[in-house]
Structure 1
Amino acid sequence: MRPSVSLRVVQYGIGYLFAFLSLYPVFLMVSSSLKTTIEIFKKPLAFPGKLSFAAYANLLDQLPFGRFLWNSIFVSGISVIIILISCSLASYYIARTSFKWNGALMFIFLLGMMIPIKLGIVPLFLLMRDIGFIDSSWSLISIYSAMGIPLGVMILTGFFRTLPRELEEAAKIDGCTDMQILGRIILPLMRPALGTVMIINFVTAWNDFFFPLIFIQSEMKKTIPVGMMSLFGEYASDWSTLFAGLTLASLPMIVIFIIASKQFMDGMTAGAVK
């Protein structure tokens, strides 16, 4: 009995250690946003001596942070919606339809994961210029959607194949069409996989710096990673204001993660076949 208790204590100890290592940078970010820049350099790892929200006020005064936040939410949100809809339809067709080109079609989707999209930045820029998407949020949405679909198809196709076909057969007996089966029966059971796809692609689009820097030129159309670059000066940087921006920028990702985590718990398929 004692060895099992000791093993459990070690397991919990390791778990709490990793939790501390994961959350400590978040604590440093939040505490630094409540300090002055001088205090950050003097006591970088300590609690703030006096809570100050001046950095948040400076952030809103120096930058159109609300606009940057909306641009990031719009780009990331629309990209995730397009990815979920496209991947759900494509994955359902691949997983439930048998034809000789099934494997080839799946391989074409997987090619999107094998070839880095940044290698084609020059032709991609010319394409966006020709269709009028330069300095437009839709350039980012189209790129993030194309980047996220291959991985989404792979995840959802594998999950589709684990669901029992009896559910669909029973629905067809009741007169449901394929789209009704997908929307009313299959997708509610797909919440764990959909949540995974949503988290991965939202974080990817939210944190991306490269493509907004290339395709967005107007100040009011920038996303948060590019917009906050103005806080880095040539000779000095306002670190307290920068940490305040990072703190506010992390809130939507935390909300999305909480929502998706709940879907992981509610979308279990146990008891689906009755």
Structure 2
Amino acid sequence: MTSTIDTVALTTGKPRGATPRKRPPVTVGGLATNAFLWLYAAFAISPLILMVLNSLRTTQDMAQRPLGLPLPPNFESYAKAWVTASFETYFLNSIVVTVCSVLLSTGVSLMAAYAFARTTSKTLKTLEGVFLSGLMLPVYLAILPLFYMLDAVRMTSNLLSLILIYGALGIPFSTFVLASFFRQLPIELDEAARLDGAGPFQTFWRIHLPLVRPAIATVVVFRFVPVWNDFFYPLILIRDQTKYTLPVGITRFFGEYQTDWATLFAGLTLATIPLVVLFLVATKQIVSGLTAGMSK
């Protein structure tokens, strides 16, 4: 006959005789810290909530009730911002430039970081120093030679020029982060793969790449945000309004709709949605990447 202890072990999934884990004691300092963090989070997110709520109201309603709720919600401002104010064009341009440049910099950095982390060649070690030296150079100082070079080959007002510039600017940081993660992987993985007949590329693609997914997510997010929000390079290099990205397009958008508050809030909400979605999707990987190596 099964004893009571065995029955409890079977139903709870805990081994017989296992002692329950004790929760850490609640302290006044811990409660105060949690309360402060929740208060700070509420304070930080409140402008985003107000922006979304006001985008669902009319300008007349906001003038009459500044802190009112969108009852009923009005989505006409989103249609006006997307179609009439050319927000669709700005949004798609930003998506193309940001996604392509992040893929370019991440792809190059992955292969370079793997080579730097696994090499013993002094030449490649020197080349790694050249890669990382890009972290010490102020990127905006290169705008004049870049402009003259792109103008000479007639690549101004071209999204490809932005993709190449952002991709090149992201390589030093991405290589530095990814090489640090590759160096944490044991060399025995390479030796075991070599014994199984795998070449360097197969070892990189099938073994190491899945293990550094948190680092890849961290690099993607840290490159996506500044490229998406960058105002400087599109302002200098893009002259055609149909090639404007969101930051430059929003300045023109504000000039035309400065009295139409509902449309302005709708446009800002549309510009913020990709960043919010990216953080929500990649939060777990980002935390894993930032805390890797902190605990055993």
Moved more, 125-134 or 234-243: 234-243
Change beyond 3 A, Cα 1:225–1:42: farther
Q: Partner of 1:150 in structure 2?
A: 172
Letter in 1 for 2:56: L
| Residues 1:235 and 1:222: Cα distance change in structure 2 (over 3 Å) | closer
In structure 2, what residue type is equivalent to 1:151? F
Q: Deviations over 1:150-186 (max 9, x none)?
A: 1001101111111111111111111111111111110
- After TM superposition, the structure 1 stretch with the greater mean CA deviation from structure 2, 82-91 or 39-48, is 39-48
Let me know the Cα RMSD of the aligned residues: 2.6
Q: Which amino acid aligns with 1:145?
A: G
Structure-2 residue corresponding to 1:210: 232
Displacement of 1:40 in angstroms is 4.0
- TM-score, with length taken from structure 2: 0.82
Residue 18 of structure 1 pairs with residue 40 of structure 2: yes
Seen in structure 2, the aligned counterparts of structure 1 residues 195 and 56 have a Cα distance that, compared at 3 Å, is same
The answer to which of 162-171 and 252-261 deviates more is 252-261
Moved more, 179-188 or 53-62: 53-62
Q: How does 1:159-174 map to 2 (within 5 A)?
A: 159-174=181-196
Judge which range, 216-225 or 233-242, deviates more.
233-242
Q: How many equivalent residue pairs?
A: 270
> How many Å apart are 1:38 and its aligned residue?
4.6
| Contact 2:162 2:234 survives alignment (8 Å) | yes
Higher relative contact order (Cα pairs below 8 Å, separated by 6+ residues): 1
Q: 1:216-227 counterparts in 2 under 5 A?
A: 216-227=238-249
In 2: Cα distance, 1:194 partner to 1:138 partner? 23
CA deviation after TM superposition for structure 1 residue 69, in Å? 1.4
Cα shift at 1:265: 7.3
What corresponds to 2:148 in structure 1? 126
Give the Å deviation of 1:66: 1.8
Q: Unmatched 5+ residue regions in structure 1?
A: none
Task: Report how far residue 209 of structure 1 moved.
Answer: 1.1
| Deviation at residue 195 of structure 1 after TM alignment | 0.4
| Structure 2 match to 1:200 | 222
**How far has the Cα of 1:235 moved from its partner?**
9.8
TM-score (norm 1): 0.88
Question: What amino acid is the match of 1:198?
Answer: V
Q: Does 1:87 align with 2:109?
A: yes
What is the SS of the residue equivalent to 2:186?
coil
Distance 1:11 1:146, change over 3 A: same
What is the CA distance between 1:50 and its match in structure 2? 4.6
Structure 2: which amino acid aligns with 1:12?
Answer: N
Give the unaligned 5+ runs of structure 2: 1-22
C-alpha distance in structure 1 between counterparts of 2:47 and 2:204, whole Å: 42
1:232 counterpart SS class: helix
Determine the structure 1 residue equivalent to 2:157. Answer: 135
Q: Which is further off, 63-72 or 173-182?
A: 63-72
The answer for the alignment partner of 1:60 in structure 2 is 82
SS of equivalent residue, structure 1 residue 161 = helix
Note if 1:32 corresponds to 2:54.
Answer: yes
CA distance in 2: counterparts of 1:10 and 1:126, whole angstroms: 56
CA contact (8 A) 2:58 2:262 kept: yes
- Following TM superposition, by how much is the alpha carbon of 1:43 offset from its aligned partner in structure 2, in angstroms? 5.0
Percent identity over the alignment? 41
CA displacement at 1:204 relative to structure 2: 1.2
Looking at structure 2, the residues matched to 235 and 139 of structure 1 have their Cα atoms a distance apart, in angstroms, of 30
The 2-side partners of 1:170 and 1:66 are apart by 51
Structure 2 counterpart SS, 1:4: coil
Aligned-residue offset at 1:236: 4.2
What residue identity is the alignment partner of 1:10? Answer: A
Q: Distance in 2 between matches of 1:159 and 1:110?
A: 15
Are 1:110 and 1:151, in contact at CA under 8 Å, matched by a contact in 2? Answer: yes
Q: Distance in 1 between matches of 2:257 and 2:292?
A: 57
The one-letter code matched in structure 2 to 1:254 is V
